[in-house]
Amino acid sequence: METQGISMKKIRICAAQEIEYSIESHDSLEQMAAGVASFADGGAMSVFIDQGLPRAHADAFVAALRFAGVSVRCHCVNADEEQKTIDNALRIAEILNRSGTKRRSSPPAVIGGGVVCDLVGFACSLYRRGIPFIRVPTTLLGMVDVSVAAKTAVNHFGYRNRLGSFHPAVATYLCPGFLDTLPGRHVANGLAEVFKVALIKSRRLLDLLDEHGHAFFEPGVESNPFVKEIIHLAAMAMAEELEPNLWERDLRRIVDYGHSFSPLIEMTYIDELLHGEAVAVDCLYSALLSRQRGMLAEADVDRIFDIAKKLRLPLYHRGFGDGQLVADALRDTIIHRDGNQNLPLMRGLGDAVFVNDLTLVEMRTASEALSRISATGRSSGFPMETYAT
């Protein structure tokens, strides 16, 4: 073939992906179901139901969809962090394929906890290179964190969320009525993510947690106005941080607070720690790093620990006392953040800055202090050095 005189030319493609999705909160299950039903094209919809969801809630949701005229195909999903695997995601994709799921219309819906929402969302991102889906989170963690997120993932290679995608649900529906049967440990699990965003972004939200966080554990939680306000403010705070950087072009994210050391520790102790529990201890550990650098007053550290206790959050876990594990966790985080620590640390209540020079000595000191404070409840005498910030 004659190619003389032909030179290679560069072909450049530049495209932008516009994305829009909504998070709606409803007091009534019927209103919420009507919103979900509006996506059913031709009256049929596949619904993936968390096996851990109380039967009464699952039946009521399906009945409300059917009352709205939807022909529901139910699929039960059994998932916790140990079941959040690529194999289970492929099983869900197989169900989508077998059901003849369309590429755009009649998106499937998932109702349940954050793990199930993540798993089904990831399967939808794989099937036919991505189909829309609808989320109905029923746990507090799902309502305040998963509901806003654009990411889906599964655990792999022994790491949390190591395989994943940016694939937000086209719509997410919240209903506080699901919280009335949520076990106390899982209530606290969700409050940990509220606690996190309050510490680094919202003094108002932190004050509400301090004064009214107990309401999440009391009867009538689904109708308590402070519960509704806390959920709304937490989701809004997350949305404000995520929207300008949805695809994480900038790897400095203050919402990564509480997620710098906890991911590897959570996976190492997966039989002991819920996600929010690992995040809570990471938040406290990181607050001590701030105190050590003179960025937090002793009284603020005491108040942070006091609020954590009110929210029934763990104050310590032995994983944070394992110097090698904590160092390994930070090393993996540095890889995830493209070679930088980009460590969000508190600079006063409701504010944060990024640090890139954390040392092993500081980490060891904070680990020792965390163990001591969790036993005594006070930070008095915590060693502090002043750093230029």
Q: Three-state DSSP class for 156?
A: strand
Asked whether the predicted pLDDT for residue 386 surpasses 80, the reply is: no
Q: What is the mean pLDDT of the chain?
A: 94
Q: Six-digit token pair at 88?
A: 């289970």
Phi, psi angles (nearest 5°) of residue 162: -75, -30
Active site residues: 151
Question: What are the residue ranges spanned by the domains of the chain?
Answer: 22-181, 184-244+251-376
What CATH class does 22-181 carry? alpha beta
The dihedral built from the CA positions of residue 228, 236, 82 and 265, taken in this order, carries a sign that is negative
Structurally, at CATH architecture level, domain 184-244+251-376 sits in Up-down Bundle (1.20)
Looking at the whole model, is its pTM more than 0.85?
yes
pLDDT band at residue 1 using 50, 70 and 90 as cut-offs? low
Contact 102, 41 (CB under 8 A): yes
Mean pLDDT value across residues 120-134: 98
CB-based contacts of 109: which residues, under 8 Å, 6+ apart?
36, 39, 45, 46, 47, 48, 133, 134, 135, 136
Q: Which tens digit of pLDDT belongs to each residue from 234-278? A: 999 999 999 999 999 999 999 999 999 999 999 999 999 999 999
What pLDDT score does 365 carry? Answer: 97
Residue pair 315/281 in contact by the 8 Å Cβ criterion? yes
Q: Scan for tokens 């939808």, then name that residue.
A: 124
Three-state DSSP class for residue 200:
helix
Using one digit for the tens of pLDDT, what is the confidence trace for 59-113? 999 999 999 999 999 999 998 899 999 999 999 999 999 999 999 999 999 999 9
Q: What pLDDT, in 10s, does the model give residues 166-191?
A: 999 999 999 999 999 999 999 999 99
Q: How many helices (H) and strands (E) does the chain have?
A: 13, 10
3-44, pLDDT tens digit by residue?
A: 566 667 899 999 988 899 999 999 999 999 999 999 998 789
